[in-house]
Amino acid sequence: MENVIILGTGIAGLTAAIYIARANLSPLLISGQEDGGQLMLTTEVENFPGFPDGINGQDLVANSKKQAEKFGAKFKTDIAEDFNPIDGGFEISLMGGDKIQTKTIIIATGASARWLGIPSEEKYKGRGVSTCATCDGAFYKGKEIIVVGGGDSAMEESLFLTKFATKVTVIHRRDEFRASKIMQDKFQKNENTEVIWDSVVEEILGDGKVVTGVKLKNVKTNDITEFKCDGVFLAIGHIPNTKFLTGKVDLDKLGYVKADTLMKTSVSGIFAAGDVQDTRFKQAITAAGSGCMAGMEAEKYLAEKE
Ligand code: NAP
């Protein structure tokens, strides 16, 4: 039986792993669907302490993984599908068919990009509609793009996309951004960015193969207009990856795991860390911090049991 299984290899899971591995408890991390988590999809991380010149998100993940491995953390590429209590712990069922027994679990499955939920989006997914500028931006050299959203991600993705696209237009459903002042300032200083306020994407238009534009609705006037573009990037927030936890641990009404200040969930022996339980901060550093806390608490739980 494993001591600790950590579900998720984002910065929360990796930080928990560093702490648990340093306590000689050799945790096992299960990658989940998005190995490395959201940092794999970001460019420069400028607000993680210790990196005055910023650090690339993928490098931060790779370094943290190396650090956890150095102390004895083990990694498995698979996705947790279910778990059930057993004598002395839990049994986790993985999509690949394996069943693994463990004394404790840390849920650090993070959150995945939110989609608009309109039929045309489904049709053009991967053919002009994307949720990842870092992954797909390079395909839009010399093209025109829209970014949907008004938060820090929308600002960050837009700025990144101006490296390739001739023009990036942000479509936001309100008349002011949610993004932090510093990100808004950077966005507004860039000559290749524009904004269309008070508008939502009603439909993604295309020629059957690729995106050619969008149908926009002004939410104040109800006017419908068509806007030509070659790509649509969505930056409208995230949804916690907790589907497999329904009925197993307490979730809030938005689907986030309910964890107390010690990162304990409603089930004794199961802890949560990172964006899967964070409705407020959602920062790399807070994810890492909660990973540290969950790791230390899991370690304490095991010590008290033995
Ligand atoms: P967010 O802050 O939740 O912003 C999501 C944006 O999408 C909001 O402007 C929201 O509009 C809009 N939106 C949501 N659902 C929509 C829908 N169905 N249709 C149209 N628009 C919709 O998400 P985020 O930008 O991904 O940021 C998440 C967290 O990560 C934040 O805490 C942010 O500070 C952090 N972050 C930080 C950095 C950085 O510091 N460099 C970079 C990226 C993210 P409303 O404003 O009207 O609600």
Which parts of the chain sit beneath pLDDT 50? none
Q: Give the pLDDT of residue 26.
A: 98
Domain borders along the chain are 2-113+238-305, 119-234
CA 101 / ligand 1 centre spacing (Å): 37
CA 236 / ligand 1 centre spacing (Å): 5
Q: Give the pLDDT of residue 49.
A: 97
Q: Give the pLDDT of residue 44.
A: 81
- Rounded-to-integer distance, Cα 66 and Cα 14, Å: 9
pTM of the predicted protein model: 0.84
Instruction: Please count the CA atoms within 13 angstroms of the CA of 273 that sit on its side-chain side.
Output: 34
Fold agreement (2-113+238-305, 119-234): yes
- Rounded-to-integer distance, Cα 81 and Cα 96, Å: 9
Catalytic site residue 132? yes
What is the per-residue DSSP string for 91-145?
EEEETTS-EEEEEEEEE---EEE-----HHHHHHBTTTEES-HHHHGGGGTT-EE
CA 304 / ligand 1 centre spacing (Å): 41
**Coil, strand or helix: which one is 169?**
strand
Q: Whose CA is nearest to atom 21 of ligand 1?
A: 149
Query: How does pLDDT run across 55-108, given as a tens digit for each residue?
Result: 999 999 999 999 999 999 999 999 999 999 999 999 999 999 999 999 999 999
Q: Catalytic: which of 59, 82, 98, 135?
A: 135
Q: Which atom of ligand 1 is least distant from the CA of 47?
A: 40
DSSP 251: B
Catalytic site residue 135? yes
Ligand 1 site residues (CB inside 6 A) read: 47, 116, 148-154, 156, 173-174, 178, 200, 235-237, 282
- Rounded-to-integer distance, Cα 136 and Cα 231, Å: 10
Q: How many CB atoms lie within 10 A of CB 118?
A: 15
Question: CB–CB of 223/209 below 8 Å?
Answer: no
- Rounded-to-integer distance, Cα 11 and Cα 28, Å: 15
Would you state the CATH architecture of domain 2-113+238-305? 3-Layer(bba) Sandwich (3.50)
- Rounded-to-integer distance, Cα 265 and Cα 81, Å: 18
Helix axes 11-22, 284-305, angle to 10 degrees: 40
* Annotation: CATH topology of 119-234: FAD/NAD(P)-binding domain (3.50.50)
Q: Give the pLDDT of residue 41.
A: 81
